[in-house]
Amino acid sequence: MDLLNTLVEKGLRRELPSREEALAVLATSDDELLDVVAAAGKVRRQWFGRRVKLNYLVNLKSGLCPEDCSYCSQRLGSKAEILKYTWLKPDEASRAAAAGVAGGAKRVCLVASGRGPTDRDVERVSRTIGAIKEENADVEVCACLGLLSEGQAERLKAAGADAYNHNLNTSEATYGDITTTHTYADRVETVRHAQGAGLSACSGLIAGMGESDADLVDVVFGLRELDPDSVPVNFLIPFEGTPLADEWNLTPQRALRILAMVRFVCPDVEVRLAGGREVHLRTMQPLALHLVNSIFLGDYLTSEGQEGKADLDMIADAGFEVEGTDTTTLPGHRGGGCDSPCGSTPADGAEPVESAGPAVPDAASARTDLVTVRRRGAGTDLAPNA
């Protein structure tokens, strides 16, 4: 297929594909799926070999968020029956993190619900970072605390944080349909704050919220322009009790095409398979390892994931290896991240071609049985999944 050959060549050169090429990946048929995976896999292996980075989430504060993000079980007005608790103490968070590190995690992601941290919250998280680093000096720590105010990123960096996560989630054009309490521009500004402070930026998307192919391409191109080091790809977990509970728009094949498109647009970036992989990829998760070079180990913020041992078995059985703390994730030319987007911009002036899109699963295919609210780990007396 000429399209795939072109995309591989561009990916190996770190050259940005055109919008039409990105849209065409999403419009490929199921008969072409393995060809798409194989092509994107060549790009993945060029920059990351067969290494898989493991990341572990610690939910520092669960629920009771004042923001109205429609996809989130912790949102204002959510009726999802999730765990709700206030801030974990630094030693509690450190113990939770240690479970992930023992399971092979190279990065610990500290997440707290809310619009953004107060200065007191930043101090609290700084103490937590210190407690984690004291026990595991080599582990990377990424903070995800919402919108940052001036100077807060610098304080987190000084406390030992390595990275900051703040996802764009969806395209700028449709952002207001998903969230009204803050803007797409607010999110971009926070990623810029993190980069300006010398933190490794982590920013990604959520697929499956009813968006079009054009929306998906828009948000991934927006991410490419921001140039984060890590791009997590989440697939919507339709929690009962949230506005998007009925959005079951993804098939395993669709999810793989989305991951391939992200890899082609962000060839040398850490593409992370994140929330919802078990729900939407199901038994096809191993194929996704040919597209991504990073996954979350164990459970997520408010939902349970695949058992940690099953994650490790999946990686080994698929012929991949867990990336050690002595290995640098990003290719050498990126270092700690480029000051400007890597590669060149497309020279096409044509309008993007909209595809008819893939068939949408009917209501009978909704796998509500796969959405399991987290009842173990941080905020409970039960052992975590790692």
The pair of three-digit structure tokens given for residue 381, joined into one six-digit string: 């007396």
The counts of H helices and E strands in the chain are 13, 10
Could you list the beta-strand ranges (E) of the chain.
51-61, 107-112, 140-144, 163-165, 200-202, 205-207, 230-235, 270-273, 294-296, 321-322
> Catalytic: 338?
no
272 in catalytic set: yes
342 catalytic? Reply is no
Query: Which one is catalytic: 75, 142, 263, 342?
Result: 142
CA dist., res. 48 & res. 32, Å (int): 24
- Our answer to whether residue 69 is catalytic in this structure is yes
Of 14, 19, 44, 65, the active-site residue reads 65
Measured CA to CA, the distance from residue 162 to residue 106 in angstroms comes to: 12
List b or e across 142-165, with b for residues whose CB sees 16 or more CB atoms inside 10 angstroms.
bbbbbbbeeebbbbbbebebbbbb
Catalytic residue among 14, 107, 272, 334: 272
Distance CA 198, CA 187 (A): 17
**Exactly one of 75, 109, 263, 277 is catalytic; which is it?**
109
Identified catalytic residue from 14, 72, 254, 257: 72
Query: Does 142 participate in catalysis according to the annotation?
Result: yes
Contacts of 381 (CB under 8 A, 6+ apart): none
Out of 75, 124, 187, 202, pick the active-site residue. Answer: 202
Closest C-alpha among 186, 64, 46 to residue 113: 64
- Rounded to a whole number of angstroms, the CA Rg of the chain reads 19
Q: Clarify whether 127 is annotated catalytic.
A: no
* Secondary structure (3-state) at 188: helix
Looking only at Cα atoms, what is the longest distance across the chain? Answer: 58
Question: How many CB atoms sit inside 10 A of residue 383's CB?
Answer: 9
266 is catalytic: no
Which residues are designated catalytic?
A: 65, 69, 72, 109, 142, 202, 272
